[in-house]
Amino acid sequence: MNHALPFFRRLLPAAAATLLALSLAGCASTPSKPAAARAADAAAPVFYPSLPNPPRIQYLTTLAGERDLAAEKGKFAEFILGNEGERHQLVQPYGVAMTGSKVYVADSRAPGLAVFDMAQRRFSLVAGVGGGRMKQPLNVRIDSDGTKYVTDGGREQVLVYDRDDRFVAAYGRQGQFKPIDLAIVGERLYVTDITHHQVHVLDKRSGRSLFTFGQAGSEIGELFHPTNIALGTDGDLYVVETGNYRVQRFTPEGKPVRTYGAVGSVPGSFARPKGIAIDRAGRMYVGDAAFENVQIFDATGRILMDFGQAGEGAEGLSLPAGVTVSYEGIEAFRQFVAPGFKVEYLVLVASQFGPNKVDVFAFGSMSGMDDPAAAAAGPALAAR
């Protein structure tokens, strides 16, 4: 199935695209639209590719604050009670993770982890206390036992919280690294360091440094402003280099394997890549803060399609940062799924600017609209 890639229609000028402007915590916050307005925007299902093409991605809903978990108020109640539900809003989200029916958002300016409990319809903020107080949380990763690892750029540490969100430990000494993201691999943590252009490998239990790999540069094996990182189905690590406009793949021991993408304005290239996630079929999702979309690649690095776009619409993205794939929590969003659309997993994308929010998408297929030839060719081709 052929899907024209629309995301270059608002491509930034080449000169602007070459500026890093990472803006991890410096963007101004703009209040998001009321839930009712966003609901009106999303009244008709939004698919990628759009109908009548067989869709693979559906935009489901947006999480921007406490009000998105509550039932809509009537006009009279709105007049009497006001917009109390708008009190607790995301300020500047960067990373997002999901466990069970809970969505955890690293809000760098709250600062803390905003928790959307989709089952209980509750919003809370985990800021930490004492030695566990957060300063500039950028990403959160959740282990199989519920332990949460938070990269805090302000503290320049990795903070550890248990399954009940209680502070456990802080990894990293002063000046060791400025962590942006991490990947959990067995008993190791792979932490990207934007200051020293490296990946630090830590013991998961103690925080002890095991080794590092990478150095400043643009050659294979070198890194420049590494931001987000993901574990592939092949066991390798995929590191987004925002400064080199590419994704670089390494073995668990730090040996470079290959790179994906380059700076440019053609499909498969990047202007300001940040978030990355990899699904069980090896498809790679890379968010680009300049293109304001997410591109999907197959395991060989071939561009398949993209989704999302800039704009004020419900599904519009604004400086997307964190991208996460979740096979959990699908039922919590079932009410938003279009009739006939079969969901395989969720894709969550955090926007740092404008309407500060997390958009929830679903990857799947529409019943009766699959291309048998594409499906027979494998999961990568079936995503096109």
Pairwise pLDDT comparison (96 vs 311), residue with the higher score:
96
Tell whether the model's pLDDT for residue 371 goes beyond 70. Answer: no
* Least reliable range by pLDDT among 4-8, 188-192, 240-244, 349-353: 4-8
Predicted pLDDT of residue 205: 97
CA distance 292 to 317: 6
Cross-strand pairs, 337: none
Cα 267 from chain centroid? 20
CB 34 within 8 A of CB 85: no
Q: What is the pLDDT of residues 164-192, one digit of tens each?
A: 999 999 999 999 999 999 999 999 999 99
* Least reliable range by pLDDT among 59-73, 100-114, 167-181, 279-293: 59-73
| Residue range of the domain that includes 131 | 14-382
Mean pLDDT computed over 184-211: 98
Predicted pLDDT of residue 74: 45
Across the chain, mean pLDDT equals: 86
| Assigned domain for 1 exists | no
| Assigned domain for 2 exists | no
Retrieve residue 333's tokens. Answer: 């969003």
Predicted pLDDT of residue 124: 96
CA distance 239 to 286: 11
- Residue 309: pLDDT band (50, 70, 90) is confident
CB 192 within 8 A of CB 181: yes
Mean pLDDT computed over 290-315: 91
| Assigned domain for 4 exists | no
Following DSSP, what letter does each residue of 203-246 receive, concatenated?
Answer: ETTT--EEEEE--BSSSTT-BSSEEEEEE-TTS-EEEEETTTTE
Least Cα distance to 286 among 253, 256, 308 occurs for: 308
Predicted pLDDT of residue 17: 37
Share of the chain above pLDDT 90, in %: 76
Predicted pLDDT of residue 310: 85
| Assigned domain for 169 exists | yes
Neighbours of 128 (CB within 10 A): 22
Structural Rg of the chain based on CA atoms? 20
| Assigned domain for 41 exists | yes
Predicted pLDDT of residue 327: 98
Mean pLDDT computed over 331-349: 97
Pairwise pLDDT comparison (7 vs 136), residue with the higher score:
136
Tell whether the model's pLDDT for residue 103 goes beyond 60. Answer: yes
Predicted pLDDT of residue 43: 72
Number of domains observed in the structure of the chain: 1
| Assigned domain for 7 exists | no
Share of the chain above pLDDT 70, in %: 80
Q: What is the pLDDT of residues 213-252, one digit of tens each?
A: 999 999 999 999 999 999 999 999 999 999 999 999 999 9
| Assigned domain for 204 exists | yes
* Least reliable range by pLDDT among 7-11, 203-207, 229-233, 366-370: 7-11
Least Cα distance to 379 among 72, 103, 56, 75 occurs for: 56
DSSP structural state of residue 281: T
CA distance 97 to 108: 14
C-alpha torsion sign, points 370, 373, 376, 382: negative
Neighbours of 69 (CB within 10 A): 17
Q: What is the pLDDT of residues 24-61, one digit of tens each?
A: 444 444 444 444 444 444 478 999 999 999 999 999 99
Pairwise pLDDT comparison (12 vs 355), residue with the higher score:
355
Predicted pLDDT of residue 101: 96
Measured at the CA of 278, the angle between CA 222 and CA 329, to 5 degrees, comes to 140
Retrieve residue 189's tokens. Answer: 């943590």
Q: What CATH number does residue 133 fall under?
A: 2.120.10.30
| Assigned domain for 250 exists | yes
CA distance 234 to 298: 13
Predicted pLDDT of residue 87: 64
Pairwise pLDDT comparison (30 vs 296), residue with the higher score:
296
Mean pLDDT computed over 136-154: 98
Predicted pLDDT of residue 70: 78
Cα 139 from chain centroid? 9
